[in-house]
Amino acid sequence: MGHARNARKDRSQKSHVRRLGLVEDRKSDTRKSDARKDRSQESHVRRLGLVEDRKNEPKLCSHAVKQMALRAGFDLVGIAKPEAIASTRLDSWLGNGFGAGMTWMEASRDARLNPRRLLPTARSIIVLAVNYFHPGSNELAGGGRISRYAWGRDYHRVLGARLRSLRRLLEGELPSIRSFHGVDAIPMMEKVWAQRAGLGWIGKSGNLVTRRYGSWVFLATMMVDEEVEPDEPHPDHCGSCERCIEACPTGAIVSPGVVDSRRCVSYNTIENKEKCPDGVAERSDRWLFGCDACQDACPWSRRFARFSREPDFAPRKELMSISTSEIAALDEIAFDGLTRGSPLRRAGLERLRHNARLALRLARGKDGGGP
């Protein structure tokens, strides 16, 4: 009876995860392998120095996991324990309407706060980051600006491939391991995990800032059902600085670390399907996709920006050489060609054209009002 209930729960969990479009990497049935197989596996792994035997509890060695993550192409890696996140801040963010039209943030609230909803047997979270900084100007001819994270190939694809490599490396050494990974689109509070895993701190800008690359990093997570030595959480280094808050063109950083998406140019140029709230469009500083003002102003991000070793994130010639007026006049075929494999695709043709028209008006010194 209990078993049947568990099996039902398991199935409903799987379909829930599938409905959310999440990546699930379970080798579930291999788990019930007999004790002999387990023992031989363990000793194989111990021979490789991957597992430390502490108090009879097998543990993946944190150093070995980190080496694998670096081999898979990540620039930073840390480990956190999958302990639930206190609900106060997320609830107050949602309650204040700061999630704007991103209703999926509310719908996945419980999973965001408790990662074990995604992998009930999770014992550790491997938190990963990739530096995407490529130098250069964000200005297109005609005055429009494109945020740095969108200059190259879509990071979901790049980091997704690296996560799969890491999973293969882990499974190669410990075949019974179960994992669950994702980048951005899974209901994990990636910045919180990154801070807990020691990668950096959540700055007043609302971005994770690292001492190695500033805030120019993408984040990803992989939960595993093995114990890995956790890292220390990262201390805050914002101090009395408030440059990001001062630099935000629309006043979207309503208090340190808290972003009201309704006012954020990034939200309004990418996610928003409705009319831009009054007073925001005309202050959007010619950004036609995303916004980097809070990051460009950050002394850590200025000082520690380093050239990314990932050519996929380098500015695409066809994108950076197009003019704002050409974007404003894109047709479907041209949009399809321009945005293939690029983050810009998310905005959709209509929104992108609208943003470009607005940027042109602002560049000409008109107020840019209107939808």
Query: Is 257 a binder of ligand B12 (CB under 6 A)?
Result: yes
Single out the segment in contact with ligand SF4 by CB under 6 A; choices: 86-94, 135-143, 290-298, 305-313.
290-298
- Contacts of residue 38, Cβ cutoff 8 Å, sequence gap at least 6: 176
Query: Cβ closer to ligand B12: 282 or 292?
Result: 292
| One-letter amino acid of 155 | Y
Query: Cβ closer to ligand B12: 102 or 349?
Result: 102
- Residue appearing with tokens 């709230």: 277
CA distance 194 to 192: 5
184 is catalytic: yes
Looking at the chain, list the stretches that DSSP marks H as alpha helix, in order from N- to C-terminal side: 2-19, 35-47, 62-71, 88-95, 103-107, 109-113, 155-173, 190-196, 243-247, 265-270, 293-296, 299-303, 317-320, 324-328, 332-339, 349-363
Query: Is 254 a binder of ligand B12 (CB under 6 A)?
Result: no
Query: Is 183 a binder of ligand SF4 (CB under 6 A)?
Result: no
**Could you tell me if 226 and 259 are in contact, meaning their C-beta atoms sit under 8 angstroms apart?**
no
Please report how close the Cβ of residue 283 comes to ligand B12 at its closest, in angstroms: 15
Query: Is 291 a binder of ligand SF4 (CB under 6 A)?
Result: yes
CA distance 59 to 13: 27
- Residue appearing with tokens 């409705």: 274
Mark 80-109 with x for binding to ligand B12 (rule: CB under 6 A) and - for no binding: -----x---xx--x--------x--x----
Residue 367, CA distances (Å) to 132, 138, 281 in order:
33, 21, 8
Annotated catalytic residue within 10, 25, 184, 225: 184
Query: Cβ closer to ligand SF4: 248 or 358?
Result: 248
What torsion do the CA atoms of 245, 246, 250, 253 make, to the nearest 10 degrees? Answer: 10
The only residue of 22, 68, 189, 330 in contact with ligand B12, by rule CB under 6 A: 189
Q: Which of residues 277-316 bind ligand B12 (CB under 6 A)?
A: 290-292, 294
CA distance 259 to 173: 41
Q: Which residues bind ligand SF4 (CB under 6 A)?
A: 203-205, 209, 238, 241-244, 248, 250, 252-253, 259, 264-266, 291, 293-294, 297-300
- Any idea which residues carry the catalytic annotation? 184
Q: Which residues bind ligand B12 (CB under 6 A)?
A: 85, 89-90, 93, 102, 105, 147, 149, 183-184, 188-192, 202, 205-208, 215, 217-219, 236, 256-259, 261, 264, 266-267, 271, 290-292, 294
